[in-house]
Amino acid sequence: MRVLAAMSGGVDSAVAAARAVDAGLDVTGVHLALSRNAQSHRTGARGCCTIEDSRDARRAADVLGIPFYVWDMADRFHEDVIDNFVAEYAAGRTPNPCLRCNEKIKFSAVLDRAVALGFDAVVTGHHARLLDGLLTRSVDAAKDQSYVLAVLTREQLDRSIFPLGDSTKELVRAEAHERGLAGVADKPDSHDICFIADGDTQKFLRQRLGDAKGDIVDDSTGEVLGQHDGAFGYTIGQRKGLALTRPAPDGRPRYVLSITPVNNTVRVGSAEALDVSTVEGDRVVWTGGERPQGPIECVVQVRAHGKELPAVVTLRGDRLVAQLRGPERGIASGQAIVVYRGDTVLGSATITAAA
Amino acid sequence: MLPQALDAYVETAREVGNASSLHGPGRLARKHIEESRERIAAALGARPSEVIFTSGGTESDNLAVKGIYWARRRPRVLASSIEHHAVLDAVRWLEDHEEATVDWLPVDSDGRLELASVNLDGGDVALITVMWANNEVGTIQPIAELAALAAAAGVPLHTDAIQAVGHVPVDFAASGVSAMSVTGHKLGGPYGVGALLLGRDVASTPLLHGGGQERDVRSGTLDVPGVVAFAVAVEHVVKEQQEEAARLTLLRDELIARVLEAVPEAALNGPATPRLPGNAHFSFPGCEGDALLLLLDAQQIAVSTGSACNAGVAQPSHVLLAMGADPVAARSSLRFTLGHTSTPEDIDALVAALPAAVDRARRAGTF
Ligand SMILES: Cc1ncc(COP(=O)(O)O)c(C=O)c1O
């Protein structure tokens, strides 16, 4: 079997490629150049796709003795991930760019190209398992990435190989050392959003969307409590940084309840008002067997690294409705709701509303 | 490396010695260097004192371009738009950092310099630099005509002859150029050794200051085994040039004919003749050169696309762009190079693999 290993220059993808080689696959390494103007080196744990990362990936491929190429996906990444990220914020939603990148770049543009070039599958260093074709959490719960893979369709999963899902991150690093992948073995994990190198999402959005002053409104009274510089600066459930001079009558903290881009309004209210028990989503993907006809008992996860919430989920065409067993706070539109049974991903949808 | 160059390398490396010291082993090392200098000079039509050893083509090009620019203290540089990056980027650097004004000389659709664009008037030209033969599309440049223009204007002409030596007749003195770059690894010699042939009356400011070796133009202890092996290789390829060129031209013409037959949409880039004997370069419409490279590489067929930037991302070739290709066409091209180890079987293997690879690459589309 001929496979294409996506190699970021990090430890996970290097070990994943190594394991694919050990498994007897015919492996070709590819580094995706995603940045239009790559920086020469990383600063700290943030950012990716620097020239240094590209070299680290090449060095790892050389250690493994596999062919290695760089694919320029910068334009696709800009359009499908970065522009979308900005547009989603502008529309008052909270996107997850990693998930989007998996959906549109790694398991779409890259996979399609790989298949066209005669490869059978793509190998990545994601921490997740495929058990009998079913997407399943990694054994390392803290590093599990099934959430950001849950948008993948059956066809995409069938052409994916995740060699790391049954190992902890610690083990992966130790293995990298043993394999002589010293250059990547101790590289820090990447955090945050790879294309926002300094980690300042607000600044990044402000540069692209500009200041747009609007009102901060009390959700229950409709009273204008203050001004903001751009609704994109707020996330549902946010408490800090509201800069409201007038305290709430009951003296309790106020939280962002909703963002309405049409009139550029941020609505705030009490913690209780954040509680929701119904979550709705669209763009349903169902990979965990037959689509259920009626309601099913399951758990859902509504943000990356979020906790599992018991729920009853019903599918209606391209829509999903989850009735949570208990109230949950700060559920943002644009994030994914991922449905699990045990460690197995059944499906996912993009959150459109929560009440 | 050519076997005889490799043998010379190993033999010399066994002998200890530092070419700059005065004791016995040092004298021996120096003897090796000077003999090599004489052999290269004789093979390339230069005087021994005109041979300045360097670390390779990139250094030779930089030494010529920057060194002559600084030594002449004049603002203008003329450079062809299809130079190798070792010249191109050195000239750009002078433009950005040393206030040089540059005439980028255009080429025609075959990659041949437009002689009419060469304007050496005004007394303000530091140098003109035009490669002898282009490394991507194999076009041979009108060096004799340029040298005549340069001589009439009293302007030094530098030529990067890295792709020419061993493939076409090259005679430094007869060509009339003032400076000429050569490198070892392109002619069956070792990596990391080359030379700048620098006319005795041509001044060049050193890039490397130090012990005053190499006419004080290029300081640093020389790599004695490398220099010896380089000389053996130069001598060999120059001696064999005519015969090898005839053999490669036949083989190359067969390659071109059979590629065009196997993939009728393919288009040859560069002239049919005069052209470097081992060079064939095509555009494959609808394909990424990179995808073809990957597919052929998987079948042990080594080909090249243009150049890659720092991060390894393929760039459309500046040579093809200068020849008037659009970026998409430029990205769809591939170079096939034949050398002293190439055989008719290599062409059979290529022609057998190519149509399917082109098909696949076309399906993969562009990025
Ligand atoms: C035309 C030309 N100039 C310069 C160079 C650079 O020479 P080197 O690799 O020896 O530094 C090369 C290729 O290597 C070349 O083909």
Q: Give contacts of A70 with chain B, Cβ < 8 Å.
A: 308, 311-314
In chain B, how long is the greatest CA-to-CA distance? 67
Low-confidence ranges of chain A (pLDDT < 50): 44-47
Residues with a CB atom less than 6 Å from ligand 1: B 56-58, 61, 84, 86, 131, 135, 160, 162-163, 183, 185, 194
Residue B189 gets which letter from DSSP?
A: S
pLDDT at B22: 66
Per-residue pLDDT tens digits for B156-205: 999 999 999 999 999 999 999 999 999 999 999 999 999 999 999 999 99
Whether residue B218 contacts residue B208, with contact meaning beta carbons closer than 8 Å, is answered with yes
Is A298 a catalytic site residue?
Answer: no
Which one of B304, B313, B360 makes the best mutation probe of the A interface by having the most chain A beta carbons within 10 Å? B313
Choose the catalytic residue: A48, A49, A98, A101.
A101
HSE of A168, CA atoms in CB hemisphere, 13 A = 6
Q: Which two tokens stand for residue B358?
A: 């082109």
ipTM of the modeled complex: 0.84
Q: Name the strands in the sheet holding A68-72, side by side, starting at the edge strand that comes first in the sequence.
A: A68-72, A26-33, A2-6, A121-123, A160-161
Average the pLDDT over B19-23 and give the result.
Answer: 65
Per-residue pLDDT tens digits for A251-302: 888 899 988 888 889 999 988 888 999 999 999 999 998 999 999 999 999 9
Give the pairing of strands A344-354 and A276-286.
antiparallel
The ligand 1 atom at the shortest distance from the C-alpha of residue B131 is: 1
Architecture of domain B241-364: Alpha-Beta Complex (3.90)
Token pair 């609505």 is found at A267
The ligand 1 atom at the shortest distance from the C-alpha of residue B194 is: 10
Average the pLDDT over B300-306 and give the result.
Answer: 89
pLDDT at B21: 62
- B60 Cα: distance to centroid of ligand 1 (angstroms): 9
Is B309 a catalytic site residue?
Answer: yes
For the domain spanning B3-237, the CATH number is 3.40.640.10
Q: Is A273 annotated as a binding residue?
A: no
The rounded distance, in Å, linking the Cα atoms of A143 and A137 is 9
pLDDT at A40: 58
How many residue contacts between A and B have a Cβ separation below 8 Å?
Answer: 52
- B104 Cα: distance to centroid of ligand 1 (angstroms): 20
pLDDT at A284: 97
Pick from A40, A51, A75: CB nearest B367: A75
Give the pairing of strands B125-129 and B157-160.
parallel
pLDDT at A37: 72
Q: Map out the domains of chain A as residue ranges.
A: 2-185, 211-273, 275-354
pLDDT at A51: 84
Beta-carbon contacts of B285 under 8 Å, excluding residues fewer than 6 positions away, are B265, B266, B267, B329, B332
Beta-carbon contacts of A268 under 8 Å, excluding residues fewer than 6 positions away, are A216, A217, A218, A219, A225, A242, A244, A254, A255, A256, A257
Measured at the alpha carbon of residue B13, what is the angle toward residues B11 and B14, in degrees to the nearest 5? Answer: 70
CB contact under 8 A, B312 and A40: no
Q: Map out the domains of chain B as residue ranges.
A: 3-237, 241-364
Residue A355 gets which letter from DSSP?
A: -
Average the pLDDT over B253-267 and give the result.
Answer: 97
Architecture of domain A275-354: Beta Barrel (2.40)
Residues of B with a Cβ under 8 Å from any A Cβ are 290-291, 293-295, 297-298, 308, 310-314, 360-361, 363-365, 367
Which one of A7, A76, A117, A119 makes the best mutation probe of the B interface by having the most chain B beta carbons within 10 Å? A117
Give the pairing of strands B194-198 and B125-129.
unpaired
pLDDT at B307: 65
The rounded distance, in Å, linking the Cα atoms of B238 and B41 is 11
Prediction pTM value: 0.88
For the domain spanning A211-273, the CATH number is 2.30.30.280
The rounded distance, in Å, linking the Cα atoms of A184 and A69 is 18
The rounded distance, in Å, linking the Cα atoms of B302 and B318 is 21
Architecture of domain A2-185: 3-Layer(aba) Sandwich (3.40)
Q: What are phi and psi of B184, to 5 degrees?
A: -70, -45
Least confident of A160-164, B140-144, B328-332: B328-332
pLDDT at A271: 87
Average the pLDDT over B243-267 and give the result.
Answer: 97
